[in-house]
Copies of this chain bind each other. A is one copy, B any other.
Amino acid sequence: MKTNSGLGEREIIKIIQSHLDSMPRMPIQFGDDVSAYDLGNGKLAVLKADMLVGLTDVPPGMSLWQAARKAVVMNISDFAAKGVKPLTLLVSLGLPANISREEVKEIGKGLNAGAREYGAYVIGGDTGESTDLIISISLFGLAEKANLVLRSGAQPNDIVAVTGSFGKTAAGLRILLKKAKSPEALRKSLIESVLMPHARLEEGLALSLSQTASASIDSSDGLAWSLHEIARASKVGFLIDKLPVAEEAIRFATLNRLDASDLALYGGEEYEVVVTVKSKFWKKAEKAVEDAGGKLIRIGKVTKERQVLLKTEGKARAIEPHGYEHFKTSEQ
């Protein structure tokens, strides 16, 4: 978001944080994917809350079932990036007065589907009236302190990798929001990536258990932003030499005269895990993720120089710290 007075999301969070007392011995600092409370004996209670707002998070074409499921998935993705299994979730719903019984049913089913897909249960919540549709989720899970992967542990020469290719959601959103053109089969696949996102929970759990990752983040704000976030938190830089652009994004970009790299870097709502791994652990990490049914794609390395660069055809150019800016359906 950007307020009328020009405040961005991150600036708002900064202002709020500056007025909060810090809990002593906070196991995870502000600004990581999740929060935690130290239970003692090396165990953490892991907590995450994030809300889906109809105005900015539900593109045209997304059903209420899909919106409710997505609200769950976007929270689970943060647990995935930290390697934490979600156990329970609570839901606070804000519903417009014109909602029907059938629509409420769809929301209930979508919430349950999202939770059960990842082994979690909805165990409580509340509801009230609001102008927008609001689906606010809070997740709870347990973790071994030693296995938790933060944003801040990347070191020079670590390998940086991702759990999937990028660019499909950026293309899909252009179709849904701006009626960009695309042949039917491609269109279907791109839209599907937006309407039915998946969190990389198995991959994240496998990485955490294998204790091979030095830093990790979920990519929901876009690949470029995720890299800059790890860079900032770990005080390092990146040299990306193999941008993981989805084949469908390349086809879409060609058809619409767009830069496929931009779709992959500056999109968003793409729930991959971006992870750094020490070279000597690479094989082990790769195997752990493969055994979990996924794949780990090497895209570059961590550098001492605090820049985030993309190297193509021998030339290096800067990857901008653009975050994904939530769309508004009113801008269609």
Contact = CB atoms under 8 A, between A and B. Distances in A.
Interface of A: 1-5, 7, 9, 12-13, 15-23, 26, 30, 34-37, 39, 45, 47-51, 53, 55-57, 87-88, 90-95, 97-101, 104-105, 107-109, 111-112, 115-116, 121-132, 134, 136, 138, 140, 142, 326, 328
Contacts of A39: 39, 142
11 contacts: A2-B97, A16-B111, A21-B121, A35-B124, A49-B49, A50-B126, A92-B136, A130-B130, A131-B131, A131-B132, A136-B136
A232 to B, nearest CB: 17
A130 B134 contact: yes
Contacts of A92: 49-51, 136, 138
A1 B136 CA distance: 18
B55 A22 contact: no
Contact of A105 (B15, B26, B98, B115): B15
A212 to B, nearest CB: 26
A1 B140 CA distance: 28
Oligomeric state, in number of copies? 2
Nearest to A88: B37
Contacts of A116: 21
A128 B16 contact: no
A45 B136 contact: no
A126 B1 contact: no
Contacts of A17: 108
B88 A47 contact: yes
A49 B138 contact: yes
* Nearest 10 CB-CB pairings of A with B: A35-B124, A19-B108, A138-B138, A1-B129, A23-B121, A49-B90, A16-B108, A136-B136, A51-B92, A131-B131
Nearest to A328: B129
A49 B132 contact: no
Task: Give the one of A22, A111, A125 with max B CB within 10 A.
Answer: A125
Contact of A125 (B15, B49, B109, B125): B49
A125 B37 contact: no
A230 to B, nearest CB: 18
Contacts of A30: 123-124
A27 B317 CA distance: 55
A138 to B, nearest CB: 4
A130 B132 contact: yes
Task: Give the one of A13, A56, A126 with max B CB within 10 A.
Answer: A126
A98 B20 contact: no
Contact of A124 (B48, B55, B88, B128): B48
A123 B37 contact: yes
Contacts of A101: 5, 7, 15
